[in-house]
Amino acid sequence: MWVRRLLLVPILLGLSALGAYVYFYNDPQPDPRMACYYGAYDLTDGRIVVVTPSSGLQNLRTVLMSGTTEFLQPIARNAEGLPTTFSRSTGWTGQTQPAGNQVMFGSCEEGTIAIESAGAQGVRGTRMTFDATDVTFESRGLKLAGRLLMPRREGPVPVAVFVHGSEDYSAITFNRLQYLFAANGIGMFTYDKRGTGSSEGRYSQDFHLLADDAAAALTKARETAGRLASEVGFVGGSQAGWIEPLAAMKVKADFVLVGFGLVESPLAEDRDEVFDDLRTAGYGDDVIATAREITDATARVMVSDFKDGYEELDAVRAKYGKEPWYAKIEGEFTGELLNYPNWLIQIIGPWFDQGTSWEYDPRPALQAYQGPHLWILAGRDSSAPPENTPRVLREVQASRPNLDIVMFPTADHGIIEFVEKDGARSETRFSEGYFQLLVDWVLFKEPAVKAQGPVVYDGGPPAAAAAAQP
């Protein structure tokens, strides 16, 4: 009987882990009939709204250049089951707006949108027309799928190659920037990273491999755009901060723009997330210094591909497991390693291993790239805490006047604003000025932001910039 119970435990835990894997990695794909709604719409009040799919089969998301964003859920469908009318929820809060606040789409042939607000005059819009070219290209023996979306403008325009973060879904389907950029006179080449969407291969977080893919994408973008491209460079966020400068060492990139990335290793990202967890819980530098011993132990397990480091992991569990702050630790992976037995980690860990370049040092590639370069940071980033990144960027900037640094002081990862209640963050919108900053910088290579907006590090003395940091 005890043997059966002991065998049942790992089976149940394994099935639970497998269930979580299936849930998170097999999210329902968008209804392909909804694709005719995706794009940028020119509204009667002069604004531009972008519509893209969201999580779920028939849900959508709208984004304005101002950063306002809403989640749309179907409330009425036509005879074929295609949604035509949607309720509106603010940001990612899940708070549905009052009845009468809705979005309605015309037929796919019409390409129209109507945004209704209860008690106020609604606005109408027509979907903008862009030139889309679907292509495939090769990288490391695999065929990857790409799409070039170009505005209909006279003369050549800049083209940005969108580099993924750690997303495991199709960028061609979900990427909103391709429409925002095209609506503002910028072309964008979007591709499905290996193992996602229509691209071949296995999903990976090997930065050297992904940099090769990004370099191949830029080459294909330049070839496809031809004389319509005035310049071709990289744009991306999060994990793309590790990949873009590395790719720029492999291919001529005319510019590099990184949002909410880190100039530290992924191991440092986990460490800083743990420190941020403890600070948020109200603990001071003494506890944070102690936690470094824990993150060193969990890092060894990750770097060894779950083969070594378990004696050290057991030692920190025994030493600190009863401390009041121990349960507050989450991080990128440390919290998980602390909470599960070693034997289960050894079995389950390799299932989720995606070849992440845990010890990758991004500074050599950052220093090697000599072209125009913009880094946009989130001052309250909970996923990639900007502990040391601003300092490192400033050090590089001292000899690189074409490196611009902008921080949105109140933004979380993704340059997203939020409200806090009972220790939880509820995300409300993208930061005001963020999308306009992206467009202005790609067009003019100057971080044109309002005086009362984000903090701009303009290449002055590092000490002055440090004093200006929020």
pLDDT over 50 (residue 6): no
Q: End-to-end CA distance of the chain: give it in Å, rounded.
A: 61
> What angle is formed at CA 51 by the lines to CA 45 and CA 56, rounded to 5 degrees?
145
Please indicate, yes or no, if residue 26 is contained in any of the structural domains. no
**Confidence tier at 319 by pLDDT (50, 70, 90):** very high
Whole-number pLDDT of residue 459: 61
The residue assigned the tokens 């944070």 is 288
Cα–Cα distance for residue pair 41/182, rounded to 1 Å: 11
Does 307 have pLDDT greater than 80? yes
Name the residue among 231, 99, 97, 92 with its Cα closest to residue 161.
Answer: 231
Of residues 470 and 271, the one with the higher pLDDT is: 271
Per-residue confidence at 465, pLDDT binned at 50, 70, 90?
very low
Q: Which amino acid is at 293?
A: E
Helices 207-225, 240-248: axis angle to 10 degrees equals: 60
Based on the fold, state whether residues 270 and 294 are members of the same structural domain.
Answer: yes
- Asked if 198 and 327 sit in the same domain, the reply is no
Distance CA 338, CA 324 (A): 15
Residue 435, in any domain of the structure: yes
The whole-number average pLDDT for the span 284-296 is 96
53 shares its domain with 139: no
Residue with token string 């440092």? 268
Q: What are the CA-CA distances from residue 119 to residues 43, 101, 124, 271, 403 (Å)?
A: 19, 9, 16, 50, 47
Q: How far apart are CA 125 and CA 265, in angstroms?
A: 45
Q: What is the dihedral of CA 54, 263, 236, 213, to 10 degrees?
A: -110
Q: Would the pLDDT of 457 be above 90?
A: no
Do 54 and 84 lie in one domain? The reply is: yes
Is 8's pLDDT higher than 50? no
**Is the pLDDT reported for residue 467 higher than 60?**
no
| Co-location of 413 and 316 in the same domain | no
- Bridge partners of 136, per DSSP, are 145
Average confidence (pLDDT) over 331-344 = 94
**In which domain, by residue range, is 160 found?**
131-265+358-468
Per-residue confidence (pLDDT) for residue 429, from 0 to 100:
98
Asked if residue 383 has pLDDT above 50, the reply is yes
d(CA 175, CA 313) in angstroms, rounded, equals 40
Angle ∠(463,466,470) on CA atoms, nearest 5: 160
Do residues 138 and 159 share a domain?
A: yes
Q: Are 101 and 135 members of one domain?
A: no
140 and 202 housed in the same domain: yes
- Residue 363 has a pLDDT of 95
- The yes-or-no verdict on residue 180 having pLDDT over 60 is yes
Structural tokens at position 127: 């979907």
User: Which pLDDT value is given to residue 24?
Assistant: 41
Cα–Cα separations (whole angstroms), residue 265 to 43, 307, 348: 43, 20, 24
Residues 348, 14 contacting (CB under 8 angstroms): yes
For residue 33, which of 70, 71, 79, 64 has the smallest C-alpha distance?
79
Supply φ then ψ for residue 199, to 5 degrees.
-90, 150
Quote the mean pLDDT of the chain.
90
CB count, 10 Å around CB of 4?
7
Q: Can you tell me whether residue 220 is helix, strand or coil? A: helix
Say if 202 falls within a structural domain: yes
384, 457: one domain: yes
d(CA 275, CA 240): 23
SS3 of residue 148 by DSSP? strand
Check: CB of residue 358 under 8 Å from CB of residue 387.
no
Residue 296 in domain: yes
CA distance 271 to 351: 23
- Compute the distance between CA of residue 132 and CA of residue 173 in angstroms, rounded to an integer: 13
pLDDT at 461: 43
Domain count, the chain: 3
Indicate if 271 and 400 belong to the same structural domain. Answer: no
Closest CA to 447 of 376, 366, 370, 393: 376
End-of-domain residue from the set 92, 127, 162: 127
Which residue among 93, 127, 161 closes a domain? Answer: 127
Residue 25 located in a structural domain: no
Share of the chain above pLDDT 70, in %: 90
**pLDDT of residue 416 exceeding 90:** yes
Give the CATH number, domain containing residue 87: 2.40.128
Do 241 and 163 belong together in one domain? yes
Together in a domain, 260 and 276: no
Q: State percent of the chain over pLDDT 90.
A: 81
Contact 214, 249 (CB under 8 A): no
Classify residue 142: in a domain, yes or no.
Answer: yes
Domain boundary among 127, 160, 192: 127
List, in sequence order, every residue forming a beta bridge with 114; answer none if it has no partner: 104, 124
pTM over 0.85: yes
Whichever domain contains 176, its CATH number is 3.40.50.1820
Give Cα separations from 321 to 205, 213, 318, 326 (angstroms): 31, 43, 6, 6
Residues 276/326, Cβ–Cβ less than 8 Å: no
pLDDT class for 470, splitting at 50, 70, 90?
very low
Choice among 105-114, 236-245, 347-356 with the minimum mean pLDDT: 347-356
Q: What is the mean pLDDT of residues 335-347?
A: 94
d(CA 235, CA 438) in angstroms, rounded, equals 9
- What is the C-alpha separation between 85 and 74, in angstroms, rounded? 6
Place of tokens 């969108």: 162
Dihedral of alpha carbons 168, 173, 174, 177, sign: positive
* pLDDT at residue number 469: 43
pLDDT at position 452, please? 57
Poorest-pLDDT segment among 21-25, 129-133, 246-250, 286-290? 21-25
Over residues 425-442, the mean pLDDT reads 96
In a domain, 19, yes or no: no
Rounded mean pLDDT, 285-301? 96
Amino acid code (one letter) for 84: T
Residue 6 located in a structural domain: no
